[in-house]
């Protein structure tokens, strides 16, 4: 037993020696190592980091944060019991902080429970049409089972052909409402091979990258500092480059959340969460990450611009008098819609928007093919979220991929959005309540990340 203990201690000592060492230096050196390259113009954009910081931190973030506290946006319906579709792995994180506490149905506002699909006054007004459709549906009894199944598949295709995500069936018995405010995204202890497997699958199999091109920091002793990878990335079309940057930006954002809400104290009397600067440095310090950290942070800003552009484009959908954030509390719903429109008008006023017209602008036939590849690759990533072993990580992973997928759906539906009538139903372009909640909460996570970077800058500025 003693010999085994000695071996264990030596192994632990070796593990400690292998951990990245956070370099020290004069005051301000730590800040420069993380942020010196995160300044000025972003690649493939006309915008600069400083403009985003000022706009987000002092104008948009406070309003968005208030909106996300409201009942409409805090309740999200999710199925956390779906099996992983890609590998046989039923292992789930046993760490206490990985658990998600669903809402008893009586805690969810009546308005949300009664209309969680096409979510507006106009949908409620279509009830009579639905009854008529049911009566007409009786004719289907004369159809063969195969034909009935085909009709169902056509209907599903109509609903999903513009979708970038594999959305949960919210009518499944396994789908439950979760209060996002009571299940915040933060460090849970979920890491190691299982978490690495998820991100590796996303990057290696879904980011258009050939197998022989190794990502930075993943190939051990054969690592060339990312030279071959960035040479490849620079040579691919703008759409594939953007796809990688979106995923990298999402990854960076999640890592910022985990570093900013880290479990600093866990005693019988209290738990204390707060910023873990060492964790942040190990993920973003230029020296520790061999130059990769600042690139990740720049990709976060790229992601911010993409989602902000989607919000500016979708304004006509929410401006219609028939649309309301319906929870059943009439005065509060009207107040929240006004705040929502204020945020969308603010998004539209941003001076240096990303120009999405550069996407899929080449040969028409090739552009259509590439757009479909883009959509299917992202849809695949949304399916991978069902393989995440930590339920809280799975919840926020599913929500953020659905939010980004909804943003992409908006950007690629511009023609349909322009044709939305000022009153009456919007048949050409539609968002479900799930998509709306995911869209704004996902952007709320990105906005929070940009805000947290300012906090980490201030902390690092005073470190030695």
> How much is the mean pLDDT over the chain?
81
- Averaged pLDDT, 16-27: 51
CA distance 114 to 448: 31
Residue 341, both tokens: 């429109």
Q: What is the distance between the alpha carbons of residues 371 and 414, in angstroms, rounded to a whole number?
A: 14
Question: Nearest-CA neighbor of 104 among 160, 42, 176?
Answer: 176
Provide the token pair at 148: 């009935």
Query: Is 377 part of any known ligand binding site?
Result: no
pLDDT above 90 for 15: no
What's the whole-number mean pLDDT along residues 254-283?
90
Give the integer Cα–Cα distance in Å for 350 and 310. Answer: 12
- The Cβ-side half-sphere exposure at 342, using a 13 Å CA radius, reads 14
The answer to whether the beta carbons of residues 384 and 429 sit under 8 Å apart is no
| 215 annotated as a binding-site residue | no
> Which of 176, 244, 265 is closest to 381 using CA atoms?
244
Taking residue 21's Cβ as centre, other Cβ atoms within 10 Å add up to 10
Cβ(239)–Cβ(359) below 8 Å: yes
What is the dihedral sign for C-alpha 230, 235, 241, 247? negative
160 is in an annotated binding site: no
Region 388-394: mean pLDDT is 91
Residue 148 banded pLDDT, cuts 50, 70, 90: very low
Question: How wide is the angle at C-alpha 341 spanned by C-alphas 121 and 453, nearest 5°?
Answer: 130
User: Which among 104-118, 128-142, 265-279, 440-454 has the top mean pLDDT?
Assistant: 440-454
Q: Please tell me the predicted confidence (pLDDT) of residue 220.
A: 53
Rounded mean pLDDT of 309-325? 91
What does the buried/exposed string (b/e) look like for 270-306 if buried means 16 or more CB atoms within 10 Å of the residue's CB? Answer: eeebebbbebbbbbbbbbbbeebbbbbbbbbbbbbbb
Residue 248 marked ligand-binding: yes
Residue 278 known to bind ligand: no
pLDDT digits (tens, 9 = 90+) for 343-385: 999 999 998 888 777 777 777 788 888 888 888 999 999 999 9
**Bigger pLDDT: 358 vs 131:** 358
Q: Is the pLDDT of residue 93 over 70?
A: no
Distance CA 447, CA 307 (A): 10
Task: In whole angstroms, give the CA distance from residue 13 to residue 3.
Answer: 15
Establish whether 232 is an annotated binding residue. no
Residue 143 pLDDT greater than 50, yes or no? no
- pLDDT of residue 67 exceeding 70: yes
How many alpha carbons fall within 13 Å on the CB side of residue 424? Answer: 5
Task: Give the mean pLDDT of 382-407.
Answer: 93
pLDDT at 309: 93
pLDDT for position 215:
87
Predicted pLDDT at 165 = 83
State the catalytic residues: 390, 393
């Amino acid at each position: 037993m003693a010999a085994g203990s000695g071996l264990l201690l030596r192994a632990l000592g070796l593990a400690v020696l292998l951990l990245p060492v956070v370099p020290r230096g004069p005051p301000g050196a730590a800040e420069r190592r993380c942020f010196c390259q995160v300044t000025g113009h972003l690649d493939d954009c006309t915008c600069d980091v400083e403009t985003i910081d000022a706009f987000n931190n002092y104008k948009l973030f406070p309003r968005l944060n208030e909106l996300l506290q409201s009942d409409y946006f805090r309740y999200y319906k999710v199925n956390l019991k779906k099996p992983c579709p890609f590998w046989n792995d039923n292992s789930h994180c046993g760490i206490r902080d990985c658990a998600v506490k669903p809402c008893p149905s009586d805690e969810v506002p009546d308005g949300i429970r009664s209309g969680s699909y096409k979510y507006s006054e106009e949908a409620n007004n279509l009830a009579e049409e639905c009854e008529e459709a049911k009566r007409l549906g009786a004719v289907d009894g004369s159809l063969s089972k195969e034909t009935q199944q085909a009709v169902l598949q056509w209907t599903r295709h109509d609903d999903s052909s513009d979708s970038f995500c594999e959305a949960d069936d919210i009518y499944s018995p396994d789908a439950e409402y979760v209060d996002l405010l009571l299940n915040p995204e933060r460090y849970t202890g979920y890491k190691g091979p299982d978490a690495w497997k998820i991100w590796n699958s996303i990057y290696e199999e879904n980011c258009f990258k050939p197998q022989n091109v190794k990502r930075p920091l993943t190939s051990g002793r054969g690592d060339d500092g990312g030279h071959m990878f960035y040479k490849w990335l620079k040579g691919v079309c703008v759409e594939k480059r953007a796809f990688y940057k979106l995923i990298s930006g999402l990854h960076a954002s999640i890592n910022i959340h985990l570093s900013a809400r880290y479990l600093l104290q866990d005693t019988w009397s209290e738990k204390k969460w707060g910023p873990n600067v060492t964790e942040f440095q190990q993920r973003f310090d230029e020296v520790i990450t061999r130059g990769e950290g600042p690139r990740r942070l720049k990709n976060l800003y790229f992601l911010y611009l993409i989602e902000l552009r989607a919000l500016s484009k979708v304004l006509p959908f929410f401006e219609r008098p028939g649309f309301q954030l319906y929870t059943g509390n009439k005065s509060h719903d009207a107040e929240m819609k006004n705040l929502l429109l204020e945020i969308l008008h603010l998004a539209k006023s941003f001076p240096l928007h990303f120009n999405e017209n550069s996407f899929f602008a080449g040969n028409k036939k090739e552009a259509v093919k590439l757009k479909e590849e883009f959509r299917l690759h992202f849809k695949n990533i949304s399916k991978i979220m069902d393989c995440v072993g930590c339920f809280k990580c799975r919840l926020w992973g599913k929500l953020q991929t659905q939010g980004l997928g909804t943003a992409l759906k908006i950007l690629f539906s511009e023609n349909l959005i322009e044709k939305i009538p000022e009153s009456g139903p919007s048949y050409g372009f539609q968002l479900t309540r799930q998509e709306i909640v995911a869209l704004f909460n996902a952007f709320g996570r990105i906005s929070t990340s940009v805000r947290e970077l300012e906090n980490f800058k201030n902390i690092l500025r005073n470190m030695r």
